[in-house]
Amino acid sequence: MPWQECSKVDERLKFVARLLEGEKMAVLCREFDISRKTGHKIFNRYQETGLEGLTDRSRRPYRQANRLPFQVETSAPTTRASSCSPTSGIAIR
């Protein structure tokens, strides 16, 4: 008998469905081999956004700590290229 393929979303949906049927959180978390904190996170996301909440979220940071704000970046003068000698790259003053 071949292995059955299952996706994370399918497993999360099974978890939420059984939780809505009245099974206890701790028992289900033990059976699905997840922590209770993760179980509550999955269930809360389902309650807030429905099936969309069961998909994986991006791990990309919301912002970058060393990046300039967009307004500053676009208004910053580009004087470096105009003040350099085209042949040597040394600033002319």
Total tally of structural domains belonging to the chain = 1
Residue 78 lies in a domain: no
Enclosing domain of residue 5? 1-56
Q: Which residues contact 38 (CB under 8 A, 6 or more apart)?
A: 29
Residue 85, in any domain of the structure: no
pLDDT (tens digit, 9 = 90+) per residue, 36-62? 999 999 999 999 999 888 888 887 877
Q: So what's the pLDDT on residue 22? A: 93
For residues 86 and 93, give the distance between their C-alpha atoms in angstroms, rounded to a whole number.
14
Asked if the structure places residue 37 within a domain, the reply is yes
- Does a structural domain hold residue 41? yes
User: For position 15, which CATH number holds?
Assistant: 1.10.10
Give domain status of residue 74, yes or no: no
Residue 35 belongs to some domain of the structure = yes
Which residues does the chain have with pLDDT short of 70?
1, 73, 76-93
